[in-house]
Amino acid sequence: MSTKKQGSLTMALLPSIILYVCAIVLVLLTRESLGGMVHYWETFVALVAVISLLSGWGQTYAANRSYLMYLVKQIIHWGSLLTVLWLFQTYGISTTLGDAKYTLALLALLSMTAVLAGLYIDFKAIFFGVFIGICTYLLAAPANIAILKPIGDRLHIADATTKPLTMIIVMGLIAFVASALVLISLRGSIMAKRNRA
């Protein structure tokens, strides 16, 4: 009986590390200039789509699903978001909204798209989508940061409302760890399946 070895855990986590580090950096920079980062966010959406496409193959294998159907779902799912953003540019909707509002719309769409991807394609994406959703709220209403108090209380962080940057980093780390735990569990399922084969 021959069993294939999996790659290192570090290599498996690398796409998620890239995703969360880029997201946290972009959110922190966007707090300084909401409209000035829009082009970076557009590029980031494409990066998220590629990482999402690459990161779900293991889940597809573990669940005995068709790779072709997985690929088709991912292309339709992320292609729809990219098409909407392209239409926003082509028909001048982004110009009408202005860079600041367009950035928030883009982030809201990215958050919803990631959560939906997590629900029916790759569960890990839910954590990223929720993280981006919270960050979008904080960027949209920077004066209304009361949402951070209950989160800070749970995490035993005093005066969380006065530390939005710290809270963004902490929430990103929590989402990453949750995603990593799902990945580790998935790797265990893959190894068990290969050992049975």
> Helix, strand, coil % (nearest 5) of the chain?
80, 0, 20
- Domain containing 155: what range? 10-196
Structural domain total, the chain = 1
Residue 121 lies in a domain: yes
Residue 147 lies in a domain: yes
Residue 16 lies in a domain: yes
Residue 44 lies in a domain: yes
Residue 1 lies in a domain: no
Residue 48 lies in a domain: yes
Encode the chain (197 residues) as per-residue pLDDT tens digits: 444 566 788 888 999 999 999 999 999 999 989 889 999 999 999 999 999 998 888 888 888 889 999 999 999 999 999 999 999 999 999 999 999 999 999 999 999 999 999 998 889 999 999 999 999 999 998 877 888 888 899 988 888 888 889 999 999 999 999 999 999 998 888 888 778 76
Nearest to 131 by CA among 190, 172, 74: 172
Cβ neighbours for 1, distance < 8 A, ≥ 6 positions apart: 195
Query: How many other CB atoms sit within 10 Å of the CB of residue 142?
Result: 11
Residue 158 lies in a domain: yes
The backbone region for 5, taken as left when phi is positive above 0, alpha when psi lies in -120 to 50, beta otherwise, is beta
**176 burial level (CB within 10 Å; 0-12, 13-18, 19+):** buried
d(CA 162, CA 131) in angstroms, rounded, equals 19
Residue 2 lies in a domain: no
